[in-house]
Amino acid sequence: MNGTVIYGRNAVIEALESGVREFNKIIISNGTRSDAKIEKIKELAKEKGVIFQFVTKEKLNAIVSEGKHQGVAALIAPIKYLELDDFISKNKNKNSSIVILDGVEDSHNVGAIIRSCVCAGIDGIILPSRRGVLINSTVEKTSAGAINHIDIIKTNSLVNTIQRLKENDYWVIAADHHAEQNYFDIDYTDMNFVLVMGAEHAGISKSLLKLSDFKVKIPMLTNFNSLNVSNAAAIILFESAAQKYKKCVK
């Protein structure tokens, strides 16, 4: 089977509504009880000329594990990654922000971080070609379709990528629990910034920490220092969003 399988009602709806993905077909389990979301999927498919067909639950389960697909899946073209220089050119006339994931290996974390990025107004996300997760079906599902609303860049070298961003006036902020500065002490409102989040267990690599302009931590009120990377990213991203919001409404 060629292409990418996405599954879950919200993910399929978002992909249809975004208009940026090419659909082959949508598959709906004939044992699925129709509701507003299933009807919306069928309506959007008809509007956009996308084929949808009903199949047995067993056939859908053979494509996507039972319990994950919510009765619907779609075969679509793979996501198109943006080139870094195209991202820089696209955002050169405004203060922009981007998140780099350094070795994050859990697809659910990647999907959740992308969802937070979109909600917090982040312009792009950078994923390493190796030592990490690229866009897959689980990322699509967990992001609830958010991957269709943000620029995603794939790179062979995070070091070279950061150096290129720094050459274009981006400030690099590394989330590191050993840092002395708190994440809310940074003014995110008047600069281009890159937020680097590290792997679930290893954290950010030393080479990237050396390139960072700021190292920030999330202060803990207990000694239980084990925030999930997607939770940590959301906390920092929404601090930047809150600062920008307060500046806009003044």
Give the position of tokens 């940026």.
Answer: 20
For the chain, the average pLDDT equals 91
Decide whether 4-76 matches 84-249 in CATH topology: no
Q: What is the pLDDT of residues 126-145, one digit of tens each?
A: 999 988 889 888 898 899 88
Q: Which residue did the predictor score with more confidence, 225 or 40?
A: 40
pLDDT on residue 67: 63
**pLDDT of residue 250 exceeding 70:** no
**pLDDT of residue 186 exceeding 90:** yes
Residue 89, class by beta-carbon neighbours within 10 Å (0-12 exposed, 13-18 middle, 19+ buried)? exposed
- Cα–Cα distance for residue pair 150/121, rounded to 1 Å: 9
Q: What is the pLDDT of residues 10-19, one digit of tens each?
A: 889 988 998 8
* Contact criterion met (CB below 8 Å) for 197 and 114: no
Strand pairing report for 51-55 and 124-128: unpaired
- Cα–Cα distance for residue pair 53/64, rounded to 1 Å: 16
What is the average pLDDT across 46-67? 86
pLDDT on residue 91: 95
CATH 3.10.310.10 fits 84-249, yes or no: no
Q: Name every residue whose Cβ is closer than 8 Å to that of residue 86 and which is 6 or more positions away in sequence.
A: none
Of 83-87, 134-138, 207-211, 237-241, least confident by mean pLDDT is 134-138
Q: What is the pLDDT of residues 26-46, one digit of tens each?
A: 999 887 778 899 999 999 999
Q: What is the pLDDT of residues 58-95, one digit of tens each?
A: 888 888 876 678 889 999 888 889 999 999 999 998 99
* Band of pLDDT at residue 3, cut at 50, 70 and 90: low
Residue 164 CA, distance from chain mean position: 21
pLDDT on residue 182: 97
pLDDT on residue 30: 87
CATH 3.40.50.300 fits 4-76, yes or no: no
Q: What percent of the chain has pLDDT over 90?
A: 65
Domain layout of the chain by residue ranges: 4-76, 84-249
pLDDT on residue 225: 66
What is the average pLDDT across 222-245? 91
pLDDT on residue 66: 61
pLDDT on residue 141: 85
The pTM for the full model equals 0.84
* Band of pLDDT at residue 1, cut at 50, 70 and 90: very low
Q: What percent of the chain has pLDDT over 70?
A: 97
